[in-house]
Amino acid sequence: MKKKLNLLWITVIVLGWLFDFLFWRQSFGINFAIFTVLCLVGGFLLLWMDQKHAARGTLWLIPLILFFAAITFVRAEPMTVFFGVVFTLFLMGVLAVTFLGGRWFRYGMADYFTGFLKLIGSMVARPVIFNSEVRSEQKESGVTRSRINPWPIVRGILIALPIVAIFAALLASADTIFSNELNSFLKLFFNLEKLPEYIFRFCYILFIAYLLAGTFLHAASQSMDEKLVGEEKPFLSPFLGFTETTIVLGSVIILFAAFVIVQFRYFFGGQANINIQGFTYSEYARRGFGELVTVAFFSLLMILGLGAITRRENETQHRIYSGLSAVVVALVIVMLVSAYQRLYLYETAYGFSRLRTYTHVALIWIGLLLGAAVVLEVLRRERFMAFAILMASLGFAISLSLLNVDGFIVRQNVWRATQGKGLDVPYLVSLSTDSVPVLVDIYQSSSYPGLTRDAVGAVLFCRLQSDSSRSSTDWRSFTFIQWQAETALEKVQGQLTQYRIVNDQPEFLTPGNVLYGCYRGND
């Protein structure tokens, strides 16, 4: 990289300018994915020209990065887009941290922490240190590198500006047409009212360029990951006796088993249980749900923590600990199944929402993570637990992306409406454009009852009255889902003329003479 110093700075400054071009006064859309790809291409080219090649393990990160970057313009649901941005940036950080080594799948929590800490340090200090090293090496070797001295250029510009300004003023006075053209040119490129904006944009372009330079330099020189924390010697030496650990796990198993046995009918009684006990759906679903999820989380921490600090001196002790851990996890999974059923009953009674859908998906991945913890313990591959947590987190985010949360909510709530339960039209109006293609498909389907289709049409009619469904005209803010939603709305726009606005609320009547309002509900 030291032989390509000028190329490095030119590349990062161009990327900084592209960031400004893609994002300044633009809403979030395809611009994020484009900038992500440009950073990957720029970084890989710089490192390839410096004869630094990515490790094979590192290349597995590329499709994941591209997937999450693409999600930011394929989906509009806030949590899905948030995860798309967060995991894109996180995985690009992992790429920089492990570019030459490629052993990110063997990282423990301490490796991720120290790796990102070093990356942040490189982003802050590495460009300055790198330039100092280059100058020192040039002085020691006696090599003088020809380079352009900027100061004569700056002095020449400063001298030329007043001279050109005087001649321009004289020529403008001599010719009205030239004066008008000159004024137009100055307003276009040198609007003094926008000077603070120009200064701010120039500063953050340089700031982004500096951070990117530090990232590329870190990948080129600090990403070998030859020695991982705790790989040769445990980060924390086991100090707790096996007897103490057995007592702890045994006590927890007895408690969990008693809870499951006593509450088994309460867990799985369903509707019949609710009628017997006199609970409402809300009380049944909410009662203990948060506590059960918390138990699952702390059970996982307990198993991992005890596994790290417990001395196991022979094969028998290893097997006993693995067996006790498996029993704890099995009991916790029973509790998670109960929590899952409680949530399902609540959703059946009151409909789906974003938060309930997030929790529904998360419960599945928590259960899989608990199972992975036991498998890794049995195989004595505890080091891969951080990888399992990362995969579970990525799996949760990918599940939300593929599920289409808002479209899923529409399908489930419309299905409830066909079973004689109400449809919360204002809430469906409040969902993102991810829901529009699904709404249009349902509205055009003849398999749904007339009143249900009327209610779905009410949601679409409200969207047509609002400008929020209209996409930006600038290509940088383009999102695939907005284009898809607008295309779908055009198909049914003519059919929605049967809906009549009756006042300025606005409120309107459906073809079935049902009155709805276009106000937005809360999530």
- Report the distance separating Cα 94 and Cα 119, nearest Å: 9
Joined together, the tokens standing for residue 37 give 């790809």
Per DSSP, the three-state class of 450 is: helix
- Name residue 284's amino acid: Y
CA pseudo-torsion sign 324, 326, 329, 331: negative
Per DSSP, the three-state class of 447 is: coil
Check residue 18 and give its pLDDT.
95
Check residue 12 and give its pLDDT.
93
Check residue 88 and give its pLDDT.
97
Which among 80, 83, 104, 106 is positioned nearest to 94, based on CA atoms?
A: 104
pTM (two decimals):
0.85
Q: List helix spans (H) across 404-449.
A: 405-418, 425-430, 436-444
Which among 377, 498, 506, 485 is positioned nearest to 73, based on CA atoms?
A: 485
Check residue 277 and give its pLDDT.
56
Contact, 329 vs 301, CB < 8 A?
Answer: no
Q: What are phi and psi of 223, to 5 degrees?
A: -115, 25
Contact, 385 vs 375, CB < 8 A?
Answer: no
- Name residue 377's amino acid: E
Whether the link from the prior residue into 426 is cis, omega within 30° of 0, is no
Angle in degrees, CA 319, 322, 327, rounded to 5 = 125
Expressed in angstroms, the distance from the first to the final Cα of the chain is 51
| Local structure of residue 51 (DSSP, 8 states) | T
Joined together, the tokens standing for residue 273 give 């249980």
* Residue 228 C-alpha from the chain's centroid: 27
Residues 6 or more apart in contact with residue 268 via CB below 8 angstroms:
338, 341
Q: Can you give the pLDDT of all 523 residues of the chain as single tens digits?
A: 666 777 888 899 999 999 999 999 888 899 999 999 999 999 999 999 988 999 999 999 999 999 999 999 999 999 999 999 999 999 999 999 999 999 998 888 888 999 999 999 999 999 888 888 877 776 776 655 545 555 577 677 778 878 887 888 888 788 788 888 777 777 666 665 666 787 788 889 989 999 999 999 999 988 887 777 766 666 667 788 888 999 999 999 999 898 888 767 655 555 555 554 555 655 655 566 677 778 888 888 898 888 888 888 888 888 898 899 999 999 988 888 877 877 777 777 788 899 889 988 988 999 899 899 889 888 888 888 889 999 999 999 999 999 999 999 999 999 989 888 888 888 998 899 999 999 999 999 888 888 888 889 988 988 887 754 455 578 899 999 999 999 999 988 888 888 877 776 567 777 777 787 776 544 3
- Name residue 220's amino acid: A
- Report the distance separating Cα 339 and Cα 346, nearest Å: 11
Angle between helices 109-141 and 78-97 in degrees, nearest 10: 50
Contact, 93 vs 116, CB < 8 A?
Answer: yes
- Report the distance separating Cα 314 and Cα 319, nearest Å: 9
For the chain, how many residues are written?
A: 523
Check residue 311 and give its pLDDT.
85
**Which conformational region is residue 509 in: left (phi greater than 0), alpha (psi within -120 to 50 degrees), or beta?**
beta
